[in-house]
Amino acid sequence: MKRPGVIAFIGIVLYIQAFLAVAAGILMLAFQTRIKEILERDGVDIDSGFLVGSGVVEIILAIALLVIAAGIMSGNRGVRFIVALVEGIRIIVAFVFMFFHHDGGVIFQAIVTIGISMFVLWALYIPRGSDEYFEAT
């Protein structure tokens, strides 16, 4: 069966999300001192270890997203469950960031992450063509 447009779109969105997660992780690691200074200047008390941990988590999630995107594009049925798991983790991490860090940039990034993750989950499970594509492969 031909890959539905929504599945191709989601595969591309997952690749983009993985790229953004890699960029965020690398930037957190590379500029942790500067980020800490800016956040503290804005009244946010943050530990450098948290920034390092956040950067590492973002990079790990990015690798998982790359693998998942490849599976989605090939029609792997088991990947849909993994997508739900990884996107669920991204949503939880985004909520944790929003809860502990009330900075505008963190909140904006978290809202965008949650929105993208919810759209990915919707597109993989709700449209009729999605089920037929994964059942055929």
Q: What percent of the chain has pLDDT over 90?
A: 36
| Buried-exposed string 93-132: b where 16+ CB fall within 10 A, e elsewhere | bbeebbeebebeebeebbeebbebbeebbebbeebeebee
- Rounded average pLDDT over 71-92: 89
> Is 133 a member of any domain?
no
Q: Specify if 72 maps to a domain.
A: yes
Per the domain annotation, does 16 fall within a domain? yes
Predicted confidence at residue 63, as pLDDT, reads: 95
What φ, ψ does residue 45 adopt, rounded to 5°? Answer: -85, 115
> Per the domain annotation, does 19 fall within a domain?
yes
Percent of the chain with pLDDT over 70: 99
- Please tell me the predicted confidence (pLDDT) of residue 67: 92
**Total number of domains in the chain:** 1
For the cut 80, the answer to whether the pLDDT of residue 88 exceeds it is: yes
**Does residue 135 lie within any of the structural domains?**
no
Residue 89 sits in which domain range? 5-128
